[in-house]
């Protein structure tokens, strides 16, 4: 019988246990969700399928499905929030005619502490945007406001 072990992109740099080495039956039930959370959807299902006890296997599969559904709801909520944001948000500044898109762009990088990045991500989710898009909007709108204030 051919090996049915799925292949996944594996980030070997992180500290978590490789999904193929994880055995849920060795972990207390109340920690399963926390244990499975860092893994990709398909990896969670694969880990759950490896539980040998039939009852525990059913619980593990139900948890993987529940986590999958929660992620799907979060994705849908973000998509809906992005749609609402497009209808109600202040737009990004429109470039002037002499500011053609075919001109070279300049990249601006900023460093954020983990808590600042978490706040930016939370605000972007609430606004229905990606964090980088919100950061760009904040930088451009902030610069435009400073220039308007300086002109008066």
The pLDDT assigned to 1 comes to 47
pTM of the model: 0.46
Residue 8 has pLDDT above 60, yes or no: no
The fraction of the chain above a pLDDT of 90, given in percent, is 18
* Arithmetic mean of pLDDT, 14-37: 82
Domain ranges across the chain: 9-88, 103-152
The pLDDT assigned to 61 comes to 93
User: Rounded CA gap, 117 and 108, in Å?
Assistant: 16
The pLDDT assigned to 40 comes to 87
Q: Express each pLDDT in 92-151 by its tens digit.
A: 666 566 655 666 778 889 999 999 999 998 888 888 788 998 898 888 888 888 988 898
């Amino acid at each position: 019988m051919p090996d049915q072990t799925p292949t996944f992109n594996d980030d070997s740099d992180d500290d978590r246990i490789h999904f193929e080495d994880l055995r849920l039956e060795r972990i207390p039930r109340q920690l399963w969700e926390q244990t499975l959370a860092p893994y990709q959807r398909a990896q969670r299902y694969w880990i759950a399928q490896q539980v040998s006890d039939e009852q525990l296997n059913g619980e593990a599969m139900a948890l993987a499905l529940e986590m999958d559904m929660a992620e799907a709801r979060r994705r849908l909520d973000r998509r809906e929030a992005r749609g609402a944001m497009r209808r109600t948000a202040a737009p990004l500044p429109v470039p002037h005619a002499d500011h053609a898109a075919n001109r070279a762009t300049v990249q601006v990088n900023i460093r954020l502490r983990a808590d600042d990045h978490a706040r930016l991500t939370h605000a972007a989710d609430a606004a229905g945007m990606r964090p980088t898009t919100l950061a760009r909007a904040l930088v451009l709108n902030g610069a435009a406001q400073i220039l308007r204030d300086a002109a008066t």
